[in-house]
Amino acid sequence: MDVRYDRDCDVGLIQGRRVAVVGYGNQGRAHAANLRDSGVRDLVVAARPQSPARQQAAEAGFTVMTPEEAAAWADVLFILTPDEGHGALYKTLEPHLRKGAALGFAHGLSVHAGLVRPRADLDVFLLAPKGAGWAVRAEYQKGSGVLGLAGVAQDASGQAWELAYAYGAALGCGRAGMLATSFGEEMETDLFGEQAVLCGGMMELVKAGFETLVERGYAPEIAYLECVHELKLVVDLLYKGGLGHVSRSISNTAEYGAISKGPKVVGANVKKRMGEVLDAIQDGTFVRDFMVENQSGGIKMNAARRRDEHSLQEHTGAALRSVLARQTKQGTQPLPPSQALIVLQPEGAGTESKGSKKERGKASKAGTKAHKSKKKAKS
């Protein structure tokens, strides 16, 4: 495994160049602030004239240019706008780009999928921080950093790899470590992780679990706690110490249930469908579908957002979070689930599909008993 740290990088390669951060969203704000704090003095933020980001960047003390002005000025342009707009953006930038300049990306999609076809004289590098923008900034300010992935699509100067690592070091990734990859590997694994596990797979799993319990007559609040709210406890254990740490930290009942029933839920058929998801990423089907969705104005995504917004699961979660937030604000410890769940369903959130009040009471008692049998997760 090829891992680079600050000691392996020449941050002077980026400090001595004119750098433009194109885009000032979640990642753009973090990149610009970290680069400035790492000694990159010739630094600008590029944003469209009508974008509110211009004022935000100016108020943060940055010189602001249009993307075209930045292209004509900069030695290094790092693109941090949404993937779906990269093709059109590059077409406006290319006539203004200085010969021998470098283009940086935080995601491999637009270059690997052919949405952007850079000029042959340009260095094209990847530095993908494995964390949200707020984490990139927060970890940097703590003297740490987030893990980064570095790659090169074009090395016209012979220094593209060194430049990628220098940029990552200035971003703070060199403190945690930077792994070498390629645009294709980063794109395909990132999309697969999002679709099959982290976002798509996980959200569908928790929705199915919540709906199964509610449809069998259990209280929505109990179902939400067991299938959604407590997910963080297990993910934190997994993040901290892997599968073994999870097994050592949960009850014997939970562990045996996991090994005996987990494969029934996520079995060979699911793995086969995951392979189909990866196939669609590798053969370009997903990117083509995504671009069509973008051109349509996001019809499918907007419909899904509306559906989730009005679901019983979302209303239940909002009510629970409100209770927990009030307890925290009052300076008290969160109540045990059996007491915290004295929450009425929001009006219009739906009713229990089955079960009388008596049955619901039994379900709530069973849920409380099961909760008490679990070990307290170790921090």
Catalytic residue of the set 31, 86, 96, 107: 107
Question: Per the annotation, does 48 bind a ligand?
Answer: yes
Q: Is 298 annotated as a binding residue?
A: no
- Confirm or deny that 114 is annotated as ligand binding: no
Six token digits for residue 283: 């053969």
Residue 239, annotated as binding a ligand: no
Q: Give me the residue label for tokens 């045996």.
A: 256
Residue 23, annotated as binding a ligand? no
Report which of 251, 183, 224, 177 is spatially closest to residue 343, judged by C-alpha positions: 224
State the first-to-last Cα distance of the chain, in angstroms, to the nearest integer. 29
51 is in an annotated binding site: yes
User: Do the annotations mark residue 275 as ligand-binding?
Assistant: no
Which two tokens mark 159?
């220094």
107 is catalytic: yes
Dihedrals φ, ψ of 338, to 5°?
Answer: -65, -25
**Is residue 141 a contact partner of residue 171, using CB atoms and an 8 Å limit?**
no
Closest CA to 184 of 129, 258, 110: 110
Q: Is 230 annotated in some ligand binding site?
A: yes
User: What CA–CA distance (Å, rounded) separates 323 from 225?
Assistant: 13
Residue 290 one-letter amino acid: F
256 is in an annotated binding site: no
Query: Which residues partner with 46 through β-bridges?
Result: 22, 65
To the nearest 10°, report the CA torsion of 237, 240, 243, 248. Answer: -60
Q: Is 27 annotated as a binding residue?
A: yes
User: Rounded distance, CA 145 to CA 168, Å?
Assistant: 10
Classify the C-alpha dihedral 69-44-3-11 as positive or negative: positive
- With residue 242 as reference, give the H or E element that holds it: helix 231-249
Residue 215 assigned as binding residue: no
Tell me the C-alpha distance between 295 and 305, whole Å: 18
Helix (H, G, I), strand (E, B) or coil at 125: strand
Question: Is 26 annotated as belonging to a binding site?
Answer: yes
Instruction: Specify binding-site residues.
Output: 24-27, 48, 51, 133, 190, 194, 226, 230, 251
Instruction: Specify binding-site residues for Mg(2+).
Output: 190, 194, 226, 230
**Catalytically active residues, by annotation:** 107
Instruction: Specify binding-site residues for NADP(+).
Output: 24-27, 48, 51, 133
Instruction: Specify binding-site residues for substrate.
Output: 251
